[in-house]
């Protein structure tokens, strides 16, 4: 039925709209950070005054405003940024010009470092964090949800759901710092905050260093997934096809897993994809709490310093991940639900 | 239900921490100030064991000293940094013409020659300063360091467009710096005439006005040598060419800095600075969660909080509750003053007796409470902090006898100034600073007892000096009689601390940090100090400036803030230097291998 | 299958000519026998199971404790069924038909249900036996076809997969063998190009095909008992007829015992040997199919027959036989549960309101639960009801 070509056409279509969407997002983000303050009455020099030393005079501030391009009309500024994205751009380092190849997300106003290499450098940390946590929370959340649903109303169910409620409502900087002081500083079982070993350097250390952040982050999500799975299972286990499966004489385990869970997981796939996408854009709280040098920590530093190009870069990267996640989720949906695929 | 229970437990924990914090503060006593100057004395341990003396004195080399930074860092480029932590730390990889001696307490405020053979030689009525470099100075790659490299380092830092962060003293004081000067536009150093390098060893500075304290400029980080051929502009920070005992091995922006020994550093060329260079390796991890950083210090996973601003509230509670932890802390006073300016432009503060009334009436302990009680601050009895050389203890208005304020004496002053029933005024503070708001509230309460009615008015931090408190027209028109303020010195020296807040001649139309001190006597004393080449005489003059300010009752001195710093017990050669008011990073070692 | 089977009771009902009012479809019905019913024993109870009965249900009670009270969905039900025979169960919505069939299949969730009485399948007692033992019978010894074939099939698995799954559960064969069997079964139930359609998903099948697939799945292990719970309700008339033919053909081929549950008297008329009419969790009439159609003894059955679609009507509606709503199963009306809706309740001298009528043998092999006297019954049937049909 020509599946490959339709899938291909669909992909191309989705990719094009994703790119368009990303450009719209960059424009909106750019406007938020560069245009809004101006509309709010701040002059170009006011903006620039954040990026000079503490003893800078008015003349120096104005020079900085010119250098950072604040004195140009906003569309010229955006045009420059967009051009950098598409064609790259050159940055003055004093000693010469530094070429920032496309897609150039700009240079930090403060450290004058190009943003993209920083982000790429930090991405493995965030990815490692997200991947490990995702694995744990899927495992923990879904199994808890299933058991809760099957033992609905039992002690196990109530205990699990109370824990889940705690997991959803306790902030990560609380659970994170608490678990650090117990397991890392108290018992010495896990690595102290700020530990990270790249996977390719030593996979075991990688896992050891990330274990506590994984568990803490997974706890938060597992809680939500347990509740979702439970609700989904309660619903699907009442479906007619579950009765059919039982009527066939299937083992209860197969009925639950192959028929019940299989159906209950479908909406979870969507949520999971989006959660993961969001997380890849920076697990802000976890990275800050555990001092992990990932995208989220970078975002916090960028916002704290009002370093607009960094903020812009992080936002765009985050948006990119969400757009990709959306695309993947849609494709995945077709994989898990034949009704979508073959309709 | 379960949720509220968990929250209740958490709340109880927090409460317990808070309570111990309050209880603990009684036992801590008042800060010692840390002057005393008996530099070099050894300490056995205990709280404040590294103040005014050396904790764990040692010459044992080896190990890795691990620093952690919670906040950001402007730059590690010596030509582009204004952070105290940075100036303290960079002595490990950059040498300057002169330097604050690595020594405990007030000894640390002494300038000693670093690359230079001696302190500066003044001529031409303090407008020309000459330094000679020592023999045998080398970069990490073995190439010799010349006076041209020092000139180049300073010259490049003049380009504030490329290096916006550092101080502008050289821009302001050097004679005839061309408008928009940049070494990158004008590569011929000879065109910068205000710095001369007649030979490879000599460097001569020409100033646009007499300045007797020029040695303080010669200790600025931007006097570190930079080889012109290796200057990569904004990217130079990724690998600063070392002239000190350590060199860069890893630089990851916002993440990590690692330094190893510099084999081309010869201690024989560095007899005066007091650098010890004990550890084999220095690491700085950047971007650590502040609360976690404290925990890591206490668990020995990290050695030094590089910021030196003290532990967070949570850790403070824990420390004060535990004698075991408390003995590993120091509580030094900083070279900062959190005070309130009395605006003499606003009636009735044009009358000295009305000003005195406020000085007598306000609650000094309330001010201190706003800044964290006796652990967070000492009650100030004058403007200039104890750690600034030249500070003289004074108690002009009897604060020590009546720390909660003396409404009766205040009323007497009010009668004198013709306001026996008191008056009304407004206190300005920065919205984003809860401590300043607490100060304003405390003033409101305590002044009310003397019949002075105070209205509170908060302003946005960012524009406080530009548009409100620092803009005399605005402050006067809006009757801002009391201006809450905080000021720290770039270095511990009367000029560094006082000039920008008491000299009436620095007052501009807006953006002022002198919020209203206009005393001809003070201006005269400042001129005297700037022309005085004898350090101790000069310091005496700064003390007189401080006294004059107090005699004229133009500020409420408020407090001198303090930090509670944690010191892991395995560190060696630890002491607080009054140059930076936290541990000296050029002398510290570790016994942890 | 063309051989009429022997009457299973001594009081067998003579075969009726094909000229009966039930018309064409009834005419195609093989009038094999009278009810497989045995001797009566009190309310809703039969005596010992007939020696040849394959399924024997005695005094079955299925109660659900709920927040509102105890729902007595099935409350004392007894019947017998032999191999090769078909029992039709009819009754309004909520009368307990599905609960009965689920009880036989052991599909009620333990813990939520109170089940008493006896269900003997091929001599094996099911009530109270271990869930695992009953599970092993499901799909193999007894199978079920459900009402809505779309929702009854898993949307994420191919039709073939779902048949293979059932087959392999009870037969130790490889997937490919099982798949071949699935194709065969699909072919058997009349799915065109079965070998390719076997890989389709349920949503790619039409409603009729889906029901055929369900039947293929149910019959894949040649069950001895097949329960079809409203197998044609969701289908249009032509497809209905095809499906029913299919069930009948397969039944005779496999010699299974079949229970067919429906609102549709036409369906039972066509297929059933015996008919049980249920009301409020009980049997109110139970007899051979001809008996029920030609000499119905219970006012509720009369109502059902009166509302039966006429032959000239194409559409077969759900039954809305009698005015009034089905009774609450928590507070079942006193006396005869049907009395609030019965037109003849006032002719029994108050018995209908006060005493529950037992299920009694009103004629040989013909059971009904009603207080009317035989005379009253004959009079009403002959004069009021029969002429209107
Ligand atoms: N698990 C249960 N808990 C409580 N009540 C139930 C449960 N299952 C069925 N019932 C009730 O039992 C009664 C009989 O239901 P059943 O499904 O057997 O009716 P039915 O005769 O099959 O009707 P229909 O023709 O609509 O399928 C209904 O009132 C139903 O609400
Ligand atoms: S017993 Fe009475 S109410 Fe019940 S069916 Fe017979 S006549 Fe009607
Ligand atoms: Mg039903």
For residue range B552-568, what is the model confidence (pLDDT) as tens digits?
A: 999 999 999 999 999 99
Q: What pLDDT score was predicted for residue C321?
A: 56
DSSP C97-154: HHHHHHHHHT-SPTTS-EEEEEEEETTEE-TTS-HHHHHHHBTTTEEEE-S-TTTTS-
Does the pLDDT of residue B530 top 70, yes or no? Answer: yes
Q: What pLDDT score was predicted for residue A25?
A: 86
Number of domains composing chain B: 2
Q: How far is A213 from chain B (nearest CA, A)?
A: 13
Bridge-partner residues for B485, per DSSP?
B339
Same domain, B557 and B415: yes
C108: left (phi over 0), alpha (psi -120 to 50) or beta: beta
Q: Which of B468, B464, B463, B441 is nearest to B454 (CA)?
A: B441
Q: Give the CATH H-level superfamily of domain C10-291.
A: P-loop containing nucleotide triphosphate hydrolases (3.40.50.300)
Q: What is the C-alpha separation between B521 and B429, in angstroms, rounded?
A: 28
Same domain, B291 and B367: no
Same domain, B303 and B377: no
Higher pLDDT, C150 or B447: B447
Residues 6+ apart with CB under 8 A from C227: C101, C104, C105, C142, C143, C144, C145, C258, C259, C261
The least confident of A223-232, B149-158, B236-245, B354-363 is A223-232
B441: left (phi over 0), alpha (psi -120 to 50) or beta: alpha
Same domain, B207 and B185: yes
Contacts of B322-326 spanning 24+ positions with Cβ under 8 A: B325/B298, B325/B566, B326/B24, B326/B47
Mean pLDDT of B577-583: 91
Q: pLDDT tens-digit profile of C294-317?
A: 899 999 998 888 876 655 444 444
- Residue in chain A lying closest to B513 (CA): A55
End-to-end CA distance of chain C: 31
Same domain, B468 and B504: yes
Residues 6+ apart with CB under 8 A from B108: B39, B100, B101, B102, B575, B576, B577, B578, B579, B580, B584
CATH number at residue B63: 3.40.190.10
Interface touch A243/C217, C-beta < 8 Å: no
Q: pLDDT tens-digit profile of C192-209?
A: 999 999 999 999 998 888
Which residue's CA is minimally distant from atom 1 of ligand 2?
A: C370
Are B283 and B66 in contact by the 8 Å Cβ rule? The answer is yes
DSSP B27-71: HT-----S----TT-EE--STTTTBSSEES------SEEEEEESS
Instruction: Please state, rounded to an integer, the average pLDDT across all residues of chain B.
Output: 88
Does the pLDDT of residue B406 top 60, yes or no? Answer: yes
Domains and CATH numbers, chain A: 5-114 (no CATH), 116-342 (1.10.3720.10)
Which residue's CA is minimally distant from atom 4 of ligand 2?
A: C336
Same domain, B453 and B578: no
Which one of A113-117, B7-11, B269-273, B533-537 scores highest in mean pLDDT? B269-273
ipTM (interface pTM): 0.83
Does the pLDDT of residue B2 top 60, yes or no? Answer: no
What confidence category does residue C51 fall into, taking pLDDT thresholds of 50, 70 and 90?
A: low
Q: How far is A53 from chain B (nearest CA, A)?
A: 4
Are B189 and B183 in contact by the 8 Å Cβ rule? The answer is yes
Are C76 and C286 in contact by the 8 Å Cβ rule? The answer is no
Q: What is the C-alpha separation between B107 and B34, in angstroms, rounded?
A: 10
Q: Which chains touch C (3 or more CB pairs under 8 A)?
A: A
Does the pLDDT of residue B30 top 50, yes or no? Answer: no
C95 in contact with ligand 1, CB cutoff 6 A = yes
Residues 6+ apart with CB under 8 A from A272: A134, A138, A225
Q: What pLDDT score was predicted for residue A111?
A: 81
Q: What pLDDT score was predicted for residue B267?
A: 95
Does the pLDDT of residue B35 top 70, yes or no? Answer: no
CATH number at residue B345: 3.10.105.10
C279 in contact with ligand 2, CB cutoff 6 A = no
Mean pLDDT of C329-349: 90
Query: Does the pTM of the predicted model rise above 0.90?
Result: no
Structural domain that includes position B316: 1-332+569-593
- Residue in chain A lying closest to B80 (CA): A53
What confidence category does residue C226 fall into, taking pLDDT thresholds of 50, 70 and 90?
A: very high
Interface touch C138/A239, C-beta < 8 Å: no
Interface check for C217 against chain A (CB to CB < 8 A): the answer is yes
Tell me the C-alpha to C-alpha distance, in Å, between residue A233 and each of A71, A129, A266. 59, 28, 11
Q: What is the C-alpha separation between A194 and B288, in angstroms, rounded?
A: 6
Tell me the C-alpha to C-alpha distance, in Å, between residue C171 and each of A68, C165, C183. 76, 10, 16
The least confident of B176-190, B391-405, C17-31 is C17-31
Q: What pLDDT score was predicted for residue C40?
A: 39
Parallel, antiparallel, or unpaired: how do β-strands C282-288 and C366-368 relate? antiparallel
Query: Do at least 3 CB pairs under 8 Å connect A with B?
Result: yes
The domain ranges of chain C are 10-291, 296-388
Q: What pLDDT score was predicted for residue B287?
A: 86
The least confident of A138-152, B491-505, C36-50, C155-169 is C36-50
Q: What is the C-alpha separation between B190 and C129, in angstroms, rounded?
A: 105
Does the pLDDT of residue C161 top 80, yes or no? Answer: yes
Q: What pLDDT score was predicted for residue A146?
A: 92
Interface touch A291/B156, C-beta < 8 Å: no
Does the pLDDT of residue C49 top 50, yes or no? Answer: yes
Does the pLDDT of residue B65 top 60, yes or no? Answer: yes
Q: Which residues of A touch B293 (CB under 8 A)?
A: 193, 291
Which residue's CA is minimally distant from atom 7 of ligand 1?
A: C64
What confidence category does residue C50 fall into, taking pLDDT thresholds of 50, 70 and 90?
A: low
Are B27 and B33 in contact by the 8 Å Cβ rule? The answer is no
For CA atoms B310, B315, B320, B326, give the dihedral sign.
Answer: negative
Interface touch C154/A250, C-beta < 8 Å: no
Q: What is the C-alpha separation between C103 and C109, in angstroms, rounded?
A: 10
Place of tokens 């942890």: B592
Same domain, B351 and B310: no
What confidence category does residue B303 fall into, taking pLDDT thresholds of 50, 70 and 90?
A: very high
Q: How many Cβ atoms are within 10 Å of B26's Cβ, its own excluded?
A: 10
Interface check for B167 against chain A (CB to CB < 8 A): the answer is yes
Bridge-partner residues for B483, per DSSP?
B341, B428
Does the pLDDT of residue B9 top 50, yes or no? Answer: no
- Residue in chain A lying closest to C203 (CA): A339
For CA atoms B132, B138, B143, B149, give the dihedral sign.
Answer: negative
Q: What pLDDT score was predicted for residue C48?
A: 62
Using CB atoms, pick whichever of A56, A121, A177 lies closest to residue B164: A56
> Which letter, b or e, does each residue of B415-437 get, where b requires 16 or more Cβ atoms within 10 Å of its Cβ?
eebebeebbebbbbbbeebebbb
Same domain, B228 and B287: yes
Are C39 and C47 in contact by the 8 Å Cβ rule? The answer is yes
Same domain, B312 and B457: no
Parallel, antiparallel, or unpaired: how do β-strands B555-561 and B377-379 relate? antiparallel
Q: What is the C-alpha separation between A282 and B323, in angstroms, rounded?
A: 40
Does the pLDDT of residue B383 top 90, yes or no? Answer: yes
Does the pLDDT of residue B7 top 70, yes or no? Answer: no
Per-position pLDDT tens, chain A of length 343? 445 566 678 778 888 888 888 888 888 888 888 888 788 777 888 788 777 766 667 777 888 888 888 888 888 988 888 888 888 888 888 778 888 888 888 888 888 888 999 999 999 999 999 999 999 999 999 999 999 988 888 888 899 888 888 888 888 888 888 888 888 888 888 888 888 989 999 999 999 999 999 999 998 899 889 999 999 999 999 899 999 999 999 999 999 999 999 899 888 988 898 899 888 887 888 998 998 999 999 998 888 878 888 988 998 898 889 888 888 888 888 778 888 776 5
Does the pLDDT of residue C38 top 50, yes or no? Answer: no
Mean pLDDT of B83-88: 91
**DSSP letter at B259?**
E
Q: What pLDDT score was predicted for residue C4?
A: 35
Q: Which residues of B touch A293 (CB under 8 A)?
A: 252, 254-256, 287
Same domain, B25 and B99: yes
Parallel, antiparallel, or unpaired: how do β-strands C274-279 and C282-288 relate? antiparallel
Q: What pLDDT score was predicted for residue A94?
A: 79
Q: What pLDDT score was predicted for residue B24?
A: 32
A301: left (phi over 0), alpha (psi -120 to 50) or beta: alpha
C339 in contact with ligand 2, CB cutoff 6 A = yes
Q: pLDDT tens-digit profile of B339-380?
A: 999 999 998 999 999 999 999 999 999 999 999 899 899 999
C372 in contact with ligand 2, CB cutoff 6 A = yes
Instruction: Please state, rounded to an integer, the average pLDDT across all residues of chain C.
Output: 81
Does the pLDDT of residue C222 top 80, yes or no? Answer: yes
Interface check for B289 against chain A (CB to CB < 8 A): the answer is yes
Does the pLDDT of residue B526 top 70, yes or no? Answer: yes
Residue in B4, B255, B289, B319 to test binding to A, most A beta-carbons within 10 Å = B289
Q: What pLDDT score was predicted for residue A343?
A: 57
Q: What pLDDT score was predicted for residue C26?
A: 37
**DSSP letter at B566?**
E
Instruction: Report the SS3 class of residue A96.
Output: coil
Place of tokens 């006597």: B521
Which residue's CA is minimally distant from atom 6 of ligand 2?
A: C370
Same domain, B361 and B300: no
Same domain, B141 and B78: yes
Place of tokens 């049980």: C276
Q: What is the C-alpha separation between A255 and A244, in angstroms, rounded?
A: 9
């Amino acid at each position: 039925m020509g599946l490959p070509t339709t899938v291909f056409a669909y992909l191309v279509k989705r990719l094009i709209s994703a790119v368009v969407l990303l450009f719209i997002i960059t424009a909106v983000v750019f406007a938020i950070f560069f245009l809004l303050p101006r509309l709010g009455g701040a002059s170009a020099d006011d903006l620039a005054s954040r990026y000079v030393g503490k003893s800078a005079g008015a003349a120096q501030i104005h020079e900085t405003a010119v250098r950072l391009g604040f004195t140009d009309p906003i569309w010229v500024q955006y045009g420059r940024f967009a051009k950098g994205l598409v064609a790259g751009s050159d940055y003055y380092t004093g000693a010469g010009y530094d070429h920032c190849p496309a897609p150039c997300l700009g240079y930090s106003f403060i450290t004058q470092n190009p943003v993209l290499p920083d982000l790429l450098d930090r991405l493995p940390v965030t990815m490692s964090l997200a991947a490990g946590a995702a694995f744990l929370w899927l495992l923990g959340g879904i199994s808890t949800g299933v058991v809760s649903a099957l033992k609905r109303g039992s002690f196990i169910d109530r205990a699990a759901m109370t824990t889940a409620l705690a997991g959803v409502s306790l902030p990560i900087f609380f659970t994170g710092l608490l678990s650090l002081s117990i397991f890392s500083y108290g018992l010495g079982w896990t690595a102290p905050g700020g530990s990270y070993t790249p996977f390719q350097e030593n996979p075991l250390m990688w896992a050891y260093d990330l274990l506590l952040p994984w568990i803490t982050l997974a706890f938060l999500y597992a809680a939500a997934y347990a509740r979702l799975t439970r609700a989904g299972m309660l619903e699907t286990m009442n479906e007619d096809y579950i009765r059919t499966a039982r009527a066939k004489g299937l083992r209860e385990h197969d009925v639950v897993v192959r028929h019940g869970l299989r159906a209950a997981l479908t909406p979870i796939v969507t949520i999971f994809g989006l959660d993961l996408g969001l997380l890849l854009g920076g697990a802000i709280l976890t990275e800050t709490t555990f001092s992990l040098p990932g995208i989220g920590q970078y975002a916090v530093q960028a916002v704290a310093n009002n370093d607009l190009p960094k903020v812009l870069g992080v936002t765009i990267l985050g948006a990119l991940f969400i757009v990709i996640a959306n695309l993947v989720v849609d494709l995945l949906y077709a994989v898990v639900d034949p009704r979508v695929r073959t309709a | 239900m379960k949720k509220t229970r968990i929250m209740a437990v958490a709340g109880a924990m927090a409460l317990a921490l808070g309570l111990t914090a309050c209880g603990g503060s009684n036992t801590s006593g008042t800060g010692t100030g840390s002057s005393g100057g008996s530099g070099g004395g050894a300490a056995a341990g205990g709280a404040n064991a590294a103040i005014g003396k050396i904790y764990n004195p040692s010459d044992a080399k080896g190990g890795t000293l691990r620093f952690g930074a919670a906040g950001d860092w402007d730059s590690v480029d010596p030509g582009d940094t204004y952070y105290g932590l940075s100036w303290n730390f960079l002595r490990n990889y950059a040498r300057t013409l002169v330097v604050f001696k690595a020594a405990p307490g007030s000894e640390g405020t002494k300038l000693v020659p670093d690359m230079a053979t001696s302190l500066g030689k003044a001529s031409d009525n303090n407008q020309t300063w000459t330094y000679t470099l020592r023999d045998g100075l080398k970069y990490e790659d073995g190439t010799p360091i010349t006076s041209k490299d020092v000139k180049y380092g300073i010259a490049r830092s003049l380009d504030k467009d490329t290096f916006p962060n550092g101080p502008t003293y050289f821009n302001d004081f050097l004679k005839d710096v061309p408008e928009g000067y940049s070494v990158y536009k004008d590569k011929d150093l000879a065109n910068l005439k205000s710095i001369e390098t007649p030979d490879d060893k000599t460097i001569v500075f020409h100033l646009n006005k007499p300045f007797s304290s020029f040695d303080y400029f010669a200790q600025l980080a931007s006097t570190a040598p930079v080889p012109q051929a290796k200057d990569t502009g904004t990217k130079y920070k990724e690998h600063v060419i070392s002239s000190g005992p350590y060199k860069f091995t890893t630089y990851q922006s916002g993440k990590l800095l690692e330094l190893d020994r510099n084999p081309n550093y010869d201690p024989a060329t560095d007899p005066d600075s007091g650098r010890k260079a004990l550890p084999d390796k220095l690491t700085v991890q950047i971007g650590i969660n502040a609360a976690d950083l404290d925990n890591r210090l206490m668990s020995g996973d990290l050695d030094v909080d590089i910021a030196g601003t003290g532990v967070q509230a949570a850790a403070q509670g824990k420390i004060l509750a535990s004698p075991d932890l408390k003995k590993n802390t120091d509580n030094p006073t900083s070279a900062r003053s959190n005070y309130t300016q009395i605006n003499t432009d606003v009636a009735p503060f044009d009358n000295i007796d009305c000003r005195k009334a406020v000085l007598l009436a306000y609650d000094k302990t309330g001010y201190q409470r706003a800044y964290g009680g006796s652990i967070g601050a000492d009650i100030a009895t004058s403007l200039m902090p104890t750690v600034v050389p030249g500070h003289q203890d004074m108690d002009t208005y009897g604060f020590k006898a009546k720390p909660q304020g003396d409404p009766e004496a205040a009323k007497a002053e009010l009668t004198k100034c013709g306001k026996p029933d008191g008056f009304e005024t407004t206190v300005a503070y920065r919205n984003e600073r809860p401590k300043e708001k607490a100060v304003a509230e405390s003033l409101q309460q305590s002044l009310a007892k003397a019949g002075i009615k105070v209205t509170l008015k908060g302003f946005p931090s960012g524009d406080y000096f530009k548009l409100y408190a620092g803009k005399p027209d605005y402050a006067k028109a809006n009757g801002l009689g009391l201006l809450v303020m905080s000021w720290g010195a770039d270095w511990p020296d009367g000029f560094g601390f006082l000039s920008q807040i008491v000299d009436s001649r620095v007052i501009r139309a807006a953006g002022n940090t002198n919020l209203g001190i206009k005393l001809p006597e003070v201006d005269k004393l400042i001129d005297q100090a700037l022309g005085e080449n004898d350090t101790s005489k000069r310091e005496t003059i700064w003390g007189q400036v401080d006294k004059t300010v107090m005699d004229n009752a133009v500020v409420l001195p408020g407090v001198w803030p303090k930090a509670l710093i944690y010191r892991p017990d395995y560190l060696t050669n630890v002491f607080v230097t009054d140059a930076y008011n936290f541990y000296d990073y050029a002398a510290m070692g570790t016994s942890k291998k | 299958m063309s051989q009429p089977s022997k009457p299973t009771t001594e009081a067998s009902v003579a075969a009726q000519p094909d000229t009966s009012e039930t018309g064409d479809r009834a005419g195609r019905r093989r009038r094999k026998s009278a009810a497989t019913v045995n001797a009566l024993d009190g309310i809703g109870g039969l005596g010992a199971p007939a020696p040849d009965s394959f399924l024997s249900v005695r005094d079955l009670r299925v109660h659900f404790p709920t927040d509102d009270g105890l729902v007595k969905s099935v409350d004392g039900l007894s019947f017998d069924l032999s191999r090769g025979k078909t029992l039709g169960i009819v009754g309004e919505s909520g009368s307990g038909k599905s609960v009965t069939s689920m009880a036989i299949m052991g599909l009620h969730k333990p813990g939520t249900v109170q089940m008493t009485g006896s269900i003997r399948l091929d001599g094996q007692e099911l009530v109270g036996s271990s869930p695992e033992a009953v599970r092993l019978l499901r799909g193999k010894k007894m199978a079920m076809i459900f009402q809505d074939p779309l929702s009854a099939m898993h949307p994420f698995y191919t039709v073939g997969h779902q048949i293979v799954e059932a087959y392999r559960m009870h037969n130790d064969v490889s997937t490919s063998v099982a798949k071949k069997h699935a194709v065969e079964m699909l072919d058997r139930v009349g799915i065109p190009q079965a070998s390719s359609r076997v890989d389709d998903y349920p949503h790619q099948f039409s409603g009729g095909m889906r029901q055929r697939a369900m039947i293929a799945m149910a019959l894949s292990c040649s069950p001895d008992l097949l329960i079809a719970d409203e197998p044609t309700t969701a289908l249009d008339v032509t497809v209905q007829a095809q499906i029913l033919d299919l069930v009948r053909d397969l039944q005779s081929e496999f010699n299974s015992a079949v229970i067919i549950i429906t609102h549709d008297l036409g369906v039972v008329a066509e297929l059933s040997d015996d008919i049980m009419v249920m009301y409020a969790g009980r049997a109110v009439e139970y007899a051979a199919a001809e008996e029920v159609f030609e000499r119905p003894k219970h006012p509720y059955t009369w109502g059902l027959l009166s509302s039966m679609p006429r032959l000239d009507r194409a559409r077969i509606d759900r039954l809305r036989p009698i005015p009034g709503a089905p009774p609450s199963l928590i507070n079942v009306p006193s006396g005869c549960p049907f009395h609030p809706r019965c037109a003849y309740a006032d002719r029994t001298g108050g018995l209908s309101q006060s005493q529950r009528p037992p299920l009694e043998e009103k004629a040989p092999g013909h059971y009904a639960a009603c207080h009317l006297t035989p005379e009253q019954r004959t009079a009403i049937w002959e004069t009021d009801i029969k002429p209107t049909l």
